[in-house]
Homo-oligomer: A and B are copies of this chain.
Amino acid sequence: MDSQQFREFGKAAIDFVADFYDNVRDGDVLPSVEPGHLLKKLPENAPEQPEDWQTVFKDFTSTIVPGTTLWHSPQFHGFYPTGTSFPSIIGGLLSDGLGVVGLTWMASPACTELEVVTMNWLGKLFGLPEEFLNCSSGPGGGVIQGSASEATIVCLLAAKDKMTRRLKKLNPDIDEELTKIKFIAYTSDQCNSSVEKAGVLGSMKMRLLKADASGRLRGETLKKAFEEDKAKGLIPCYVVANLGTTGTCAFDPLYELGPVCQEENVWLHVDAAYAGAAFICPEYRDLMKGVEYADSFDVNAHKWLLVNFDCSALWVKDSYDLINAFDVQRIYLDDVKAEVKIPDYRHWQMQLGRRFRALKLWMVLKIYGAEGLRAHIRNQISLAQHFAKLVRADDRFIVEPEPAMGLVCFRLAEGDILTKKLLENLIEKKRIFMVAASCKNRFIIRLVICSQFTNKDDVEVSWKLIKDETDKLIPNDKVHIKSQSIASINHIQNISICEKSK
């Protein structure tokens, strides 16, 4: 394929993407394909001879596209949003076009430096304490990771290394290996599975502590767990606080957890993967009160900030904690000999290679502007509130817990069996997508405002779909019998909270 053909194919692809979003309301949210559809349809071997782009493009639109779920349809309400936007897509295109790998400063100076700049910008927009920023005089700074999962593992490994060094300093004779296996991590039982997986991957025991009735991990619970475990000879090492849990978007009180961690020199990591985006609006910053106690803080810009996956923004107070843990000193090109503070980001992450991800973040920050991003967040929250109002106006439904950010959780007053049936029926029709969670041992449906294109009419379309399906299960004229509710069912009490890509 020469550059002329690329110009033609590329522009056709741009038009495809534009049309795709122009027609985002068409078609079912869930595709009508069976498991194995592509395995059956596509040849068993790669083609020997080159195919022309027109043929491949046709294959794409006729074979691949029909098997994709419409994550950006206004009726996609599952998980939490995954970001996309026109500026971000172009940022990705230009990044692939430049095709650099930012493994050292010299390997692509702009790749490293734009990451420093945009992470400072974003950290300031969130109102993070200055010590988290590269532009402060201290050792703090921001770095783009691939996912909140990665950020949680990276910080767990750094915490393990830091605690080992601390204990070794206090007592140089300790056996490192035997000490490390006593380390233990904590989070709430409302955490995303990726947090628990970080413990598995990082070889650290992890306790999922019971959240309170509002889904929040409290300081007292954590303190008690520390005491219990220390009595058993274990060493508290790492705590993951959740700002915006996956199930119900609950916010752990950092101002309670922080002092408990500080007292024991335990690393406090904040997983604000989805909801952290709201901190660009000052009116939501109360929810991160106590953030000054955190050692690390992560928000997925690729969730609610219109940046395409992957762009997980991680800040740490002391970047040497990462460098000490990850720097395998065999790298010849230690090439930044400058007065300026320039990070060698390869020591801030697990992998060696790095894409130029800052470019899409920069595009989004410039083309939306801070005001544009705040308007996006506020609009989505107001749409969720509008949906909650519609649900509450119907006696057959209960909205619980209180809606938070773009998430509304609801259930049928009739009980779990019907709520579950309602969700199943809706999914089967493929026109709307939501997932379940559990709250206070009840089966609940989660509706998240995901698509950036969603407007008030779209919310009303979603509500009508839900209402119409409900009418088939509980005709409106039978609403008065709702007191004869079906008891909650034991066998679904164990359904774990549903998940969002991290």
Contact = CB atoms under 8 A, between A and B. Distances in A.
A1 B85 CA distance: 9
A342 B498 contact: no
A239 interface: no
Contacts of A14: 6-7, 10-11, 14, 93
26 contacts: A1-B87, A4-B18, A6-B21, A6-B90, A10-B18, A14-B93, A17-B93, A31-B110, A35-B105, A35-B337, A39-B113, A39-B117, A46-B125, A46-B366, A51-B366, A71-B101, A71-B108, A78-B107, A82-B101, A180-B181, A180-B203, A200-B325, A331-B496, A331-B498, A331-B499, A332-B435
A336 interface: yes
A92 interface: yes
A340 B367 CA distance: 45
Contact of A328 (B88, B110, B200): B200
A65 B122 CA distance: 22
Interface in A318-348: 325-326, 328-333, 336-340, 342
A369 B51 contact: yes
A18 B6 contact: yes
A406 B466 CA distance: 60
Contact of A64 (B72, B110, B340): B110
Contacts of A350: 149-150, 153, 197, 201
B50 A371 contact: yes
B351 A194 contact: yes
A177 B101 CA distance: 38
A363 interface: yes
Given A13-B90, A147-B351, 18 more contacts: A3-B19, A3-B86, A16-B94, A35-B105, A36-B342, A46-B125, A46-B365, A48-B369, A64-B114, A65-B98, A68-B111, A79-B103, A157-B201, A177-B181, A197-B326, A197-B352, A329-B496, A353-B501
A221 interface: no
Given A180-B203, A353-B309, A353-B310, A84 B99 contact: yes
Contacts of A150: 350-351
Interface in A1-48: 1-7, 9-11, 13-22, 30-31, 33-39, 42, 44-48
A218 interface: no
B114 A47 contact: no
A35 B342 contact: yes
Nearest to A114: B38
A153 B329 CA distance: 18
A328 B208 CA distance: 13
A7 B177 CA distance: 57
Interface residues of A, number: 155
B13 A11 contact: no
B116 A39 contact: yes
Interface stretch (A52-60, A224-232, A264-272): A52-60
A47 B343 CA distance: 24
A308 B96 contact: yes
B351 A146 contact: yes
A328 B196 contact: yes
A393 interface: no
Given A46-B124, A111-B68, A39 B340 contact: yes
